[in-house]
Structures are given as C-alpha cells and as structure tokens.
C-alpha cells in the first residue's frame, strides 16, 4: 500500500481508502458479516482511511466501522459526515445555512456519530453537502470550531455537491477546512482545471468519491443488467444510458496492460495519477472488492500519453441522481 499526505492534517493515509456507504445499505442485499470481513481485510492490506456518514443506513455504517476499528491494532483514520438538516441534496445556494447546517444540528449529529463510532474524537468531520454561499454564513464553522475546542473533532472537511468542483474554490482559499471530498473520475475530469491546482497551493487534502462512476467504470454494467430491488441504481441507470456507457467503456480498452488487468483498476489509477489526490474511496462491500481495489496501490500510475488520451473521454453527461430532485 502506498500512502499520501492528507493536506494540513499531516496524516499519511492509504491512497486507497474504504468507502463505507455500501455497507450501510442501499446497494443491494446487506451482509454485515461480509462487510466486517471486508473492513478487516482492508486493514490487513494497509488501508488506514475509512469514509462513512451519519446518514449511511441511519448510522449503521458507522456502527460497523466502529466494530472493525476496535478489532484492528493499527491506527485507522475515520471520516464521517453531518447530513443537511433539511435532508436535501444537492445543497441549494438559495436555502440559508440556518436550515441546513445550524449550530445545534451540527453538534447534535456529531455527538450521535461519536456514540456510534465508539470514540471520544472524530478524526475528520465533514459537511455532507455544500453551497458557495456558506462562505458568508458561518454557523456551520462556528459549530465545528466549538467541537474542536471541546476535543471532539480533530479536523474539518466538506463533501461538495455532485459534479460542482468550482463551488469549493473560495472554501479552499479560506483555510477553514483541511479536506474536500468530491466526484472525480475518467468521465468527470473538471476538478483538474481549477480546484486541484488550488488545493495543492493551499495544502488541502482531496478525497475522491465515485471513482468508478457508480459502477459504470467497472465494465460490468451493460444493457440488460439486473439490479437488486434494494439497489438505488435501479432508478439511475436506464437501458439507454447503459448502452451509451458500454460503448464508452469499450473505448477504454487501451488502458489494459500487464500492470492493469481491469477497467476498474485503470479507473482507480486514473484518479491516483493526479498529484492533488490524497486518497480514493471506492465503495467496498466484500473481501473481493477490497482485494481488487487495493491491488491498484502498487506505485504504478497511468502514463502521460494515456492521461493525455483520456482527456477526450471526459463526459459531462448531465444524468441526475434520483435524489437530486428531492
């Protein structure tokens, strides 16, 4: 496992982290025992960063993470998130922070996460949505500072709105957070333009979510695929879109070589090939997921000519998540 610095935290975190949304539920049949085995296998293989959230299975993901971390002798950095009080994603700039992240709500959610994670201090507490207008509405920051002064939170972060990297530019410059979590993958390369250079300049860690485009960049989602009734993606991937995905993924076959055996591994190496990226957090629910993803951290990145060629595969497809209209 290779390690990278997570911004001003100074932590050296595994460049492949454990995305713990799936183990909380919503991605098909839930198997808690396999989830614990997956977490423990990840820790055995050198993963030392886990990203979970208050809202993943109403805290179920946090409870599973707590069990696995307690069994592990190594230092594991755990990041979790505070959901917006109105439970609306993405965050709207027209809704004031007093309705999304008021002081009492942020503190309440943090206290609940502390209990479920069975810890006295959260390593990285993130807002689970973001609007640029929050730079002028600092209730959320007041709450985070209070939690840190009480010794309950070490560092702050924000998980920004889907495919909207420019919304974090002023936040990065402000110095108020140590990490930004965002979507970045072969089909969504926009963060490279403005946010990544700014994050490097201000030493802000970058946590990459959705590196496999919700499974599209595994090469396994093709027309006719059947989703489990409890998998939210059944309402996301239409047959028309699956056909287009298959065509686009097939054009990525040039990335397969001795060191890269699958499109999924190539997709993860794409994310790791940018120096701004601190860690990539693919969702992992099984030991098999863990072993395939962790194998990517071998020090071999994509070649400059491959990265140049991939610029043509940026795809601002504009498909909305099911919750975007809520």
Beta strands in the chain (DSSP E): 3-5, 12-14, 18-19, 49-51, 77-82, 122-127, 153-159, 179-183, 205-209, 277-280
What local confidence, expressed as pLDDT, does residue 311 receive?
A: 98
Task: Provide the token pair at 173.
Answer: 């410059």
Please give the CATH topology (third level) of the domain spanning 3-325. TIM Barrel (3.20.20)
Domain ranges, ordered by start, for the chain: 3-325
Express the helix, strand and coil content of the chain in percent, nearest 5 each: 45, 15, 40
What local confidence, expressed as pLDDT, does residue 241 receive?
A: 93
How does pLDDT run across 192-204, given as a tens digit for each residue?
999 999 999 999 9
What local confidence, expressed as pLDDT, does residue 325 receive?
A: 54
How does pLDDT run across 20-72, given as a tens digit for each residue?
999 999 999 999 999 999 999 999 999 999 999 999 999 999 999 999 999 99
CB 96 within 8 A of CB 153: no
């Amino acid at each position: 496992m290779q390690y990278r610095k997570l911004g001003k935290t100074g932590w050296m975190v595994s460049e492949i982290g454990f995305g713990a949304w799936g183990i909380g539920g919503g991605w098909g049949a839930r198997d808690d025992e396999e989830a614990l085995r997956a977490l423990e296998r990840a820790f055995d293989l050198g993963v030392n960063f886990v990203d979970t959230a208050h809202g993943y299975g109403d805290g179920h993901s946090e409870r599973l993470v707590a069990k696995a971390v307690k069994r592990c002798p190594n230092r594991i950095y755990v990041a979790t998130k505070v959901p917006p009080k109105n439970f609306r994603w993405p965050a709207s700039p027209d809704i004031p922070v007093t309705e999304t992240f008021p002081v009492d709500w942020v503190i309440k959610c943090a206290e609940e996460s502390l209990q479920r994670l069975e810890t006295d201090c959260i390593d990285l507490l993130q807002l689970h949505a973001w609007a640029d207008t929050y730079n002028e509405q600092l209730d959320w920051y007041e709450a985070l500072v209070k939690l840190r002064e009480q010794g309950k939170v070490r560092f702050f972060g924000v998980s920004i709105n889907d495919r909207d990297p420019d919304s974090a530019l002023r936040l990065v410059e402000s110095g108020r957070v140590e990490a930004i979590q965002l979507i970045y993958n072969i089909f969504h390369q926009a963060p490279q333009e403005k946010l990544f250079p700014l994050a490097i300049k201000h030493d802000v860690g970058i946590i990459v979510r959705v590196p496999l485009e919700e499974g599209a960049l595994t090469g396994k989602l093709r027309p006719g695929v059947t989703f489990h009734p409890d998998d939210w993606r059944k309402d996301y991937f239409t047959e028309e879109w699956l056909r287009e995905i298959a065509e686009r993924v097939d054009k990525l076959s040039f990335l397969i070589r001795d060191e890269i055996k699958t499109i999924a591994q190539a997709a993860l190496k794409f994310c790791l090939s940018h120096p701004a990226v601190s860690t990539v957090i693919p969702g992992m629910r099984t030991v098999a997921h863990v072993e395939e993803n962790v194998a990517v951290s071998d020090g071999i990145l994509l070649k400059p000519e491959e990265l140049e060629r991939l610029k043509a595969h940026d795809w601002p497809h504009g498909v909305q998540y099911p919750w975007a209209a809520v």
